[in-house]
Amino acid sequence: MAANPGGGSTDAGGGPVRHIPVLLDEVLAALAPAPGKLILDGTFGAGGYTSAILAAGAEVIALDRDPTAIAAGQAMVAAHGGHLKLVHSQFSHLADHAPKGGLDGVVLDIGVSSMQIDEAERGFSFQKNGPLDMRMSATGVSAADVVNRAKVSDLIRIFHFLGEESQAPRIAHAIEKRRVEKPFETTRDLAGLIEQVTPRKMKDKIHPATRVFQALRIFVNDELAELAQALFAAEAVLKPGGRLVVVTFHSLEDRIVKKFFSDRAGKASGSRHLPAALERAATFTAVGKSMVSASEAEAEANPRARSAKLRAGRRTDAAAEAADMSLFGFPNLASLGKLGG
């Protein structure tokens, strides 16, 4: 997943937007930072949450997979005299950066950052013509590799499952036909084809390319698996009483977080008539409401907040459970490793 500076984009290829931390007050209320506490911000971005956590007196370990965010954050590190440690890392590896004594809190803000959208050369936005890239870490398989090399059947599955695109077969077949003549290189190149294949209707609220760009970004960065692995990692390193706070911006992510907290709430295994010894102890209890969304005032002031959902849990003293990815029922998609080169 991207490091999001407190504000994810609800439009996978949207234009530039001002950096405003989303649900900041609600995040702080759920996270409860305070002097003497150590919080891990898994999605540093422009430092929106980290700055507020530091202001509350807590110390912060912040992660980001984007090297540009790490470079930009060095001034903040210098300004906080050892209270902030900034690490270049995917948040799925957060357990590698937690001390042996554990953490008092973990916050994850899931989505693409405004910095990444605003830079045409990163290839996230179809409103800014640039290379068809979308790699948050600037390494590995790009969106162009996927579009130009994946089998049409794989493209259909990627667009359908990760973008929830109803026109996935039509778009995938059009891509297959066009790439024989000329490989896709730019964001406008791909968006232009999608516009031709599925023209925008008057009633449409989003651009025709939005869902395909979302699907490609999620696939290229393995975002759903990254999120799932980060949830398991947080469970393993949080102290009893520690808080896990996650802000998501679309339904795929929110379903993963909801399913995780529901599963970790503790329940009987199998039939209610089985021995009590088979009951599972809860590893998390709810913090506040099961889901918090932005107020009307915040959504009006910051369009990015409209689809934001916050879920939070408090760690119990029960042992962490196994990191079983089958919990989430992810579809079997193409291998990223076979599409590079």
Is the CB of residue 145 less than 8 Å from the CB of residue 340? Answer: yes
Residue 229 pLDDT: 97
Q: 138 in helix, strand or coil?
A: coil
Section 99-104 average pLDDT: 96
φ/ψ of 184, rounded to 5, equals -75, 135
Is the CB of residue 237 less than 8 Å from the CB of residue 95? Answer: yes
Is the CB of residue 44 less than 8 Å from the CB of residue 67? Answer: no
Residue 111 pLDDT: 64
pLDDT band with cut points at 50, 70 and 90 for residue 14: very low
**Residue 314: enclosing H or E segment and its boundaries?**
strand 309-315
Residue 324 pLDDT: 95
Residue 1 pLDDT: 40
CA dihedral 155, 190, 147, 68 (to 10 degrees): -120
**Residue 108: enclosing H or E segment and its boundaries?**
strand 103-109
Residue pLDDT, tens place only, 164-186: 999 999 999 999 999 999 999 99
Residue 336 pLDDT: 76
Does the pLDDT of residue 11 top 60, yes or no? no
Angle between helices 223-237 and 210-220 in degrees, nearest 10: 50
Does the pLDDT of residue 113 top 80, yes or no? no
pTM exceeds 0.75 for this model: yes
| Residue numbering of the annotated binding site for S-adenosyl-L-methionine | 47-49, 64, 91, 109, 116
CB-CB neighbours of 147 under 10 Å: 25
Cα separation, 55 vs 67, in Å, equals: 25
- Domains by residue range for the chain, with CATH: 24-114+224-255+281-328 (3.40.50.150), 116-220 (1.10.150.170)
Residue 178 pLDDT: 96
Does the pLDDT of residue 16 top 60, yes or no? no
Share of the chain above pLDDT 90, in %: 67
Share of the chain above pLDDT 70, in %: 85
Beta strand 292-293 with 38-41 is: unpaired
Does 45 or 15 have the greater pLDDT score?
45
Residue pLDDT, tens place only, 186-242: 999 999 999 999 987 767 778 899 899 999 999 999 999 999 999 999 999 999 999
Give start and end residues of each alpha helix (H) in the chain: 24-31, 48-55, 67-72, 74-79, 114-118, 143-149, 152-163, 168-181, 187-197, 210-220, 223-237, 251-263, 296-301
Lowest mean pLDDT among 66-80, 99-113, 117-131, 280-294: 117-131
* DSSP secondary structure, 46-67, as one string: TSHHHHHHHHTT-EEEEEES-H
Residue 160 pLDDT: 96
pLDDT band with cut points at 50, 70 and 90 for residue 129: confident
pLDDT band with cut points at 50, 70 and 90 for residue 163: very high
Residue 237 pLDDT: 98
Q: How high is the mean pLDDT of the chain?
A: 86
Cα separation, 28 vs 304, in Å, equals: 18
Does 81 or 312 have the greater pLDDT score?
312
Beta-carbon contacts of residue 59 (< 8 Å; ≥ 6 apart): 37, 38, 39, 83, 84
How far is CA 90 from its chain centroid? 11
Compute and round to an integer the Cα radius of gyration of the chain.
20
Q: Is 297 exposed, middle or buried (0-12, 13-18, 19+ CB in 10 A)?
A: exposed
Lowest mean pLDDT among 81-85, 126-130, 222-226, 299-303: 126-130
Residue 66 pLDDT: 87
Does the pLDDT of residue 127 top 80, yes or no? no
| Residue numbering of the annotated binding site | 47-49, 64, 91, 109, 116
Residue 121 pLDDT: 46
Give the residue among 112, 89, 323, 111 at the shortest CA–CA distance from 229. Answer: 323
**What phi-psi label fits residue 329: left (phi over 0), alpha (psi between -120 and 50 degrees) or beta?**
left
CA dihedral 94, 99, 105, 107 (to 10 degrees): -20
Give start and end residues of each alpha helix (H) in 270-328: 296-301
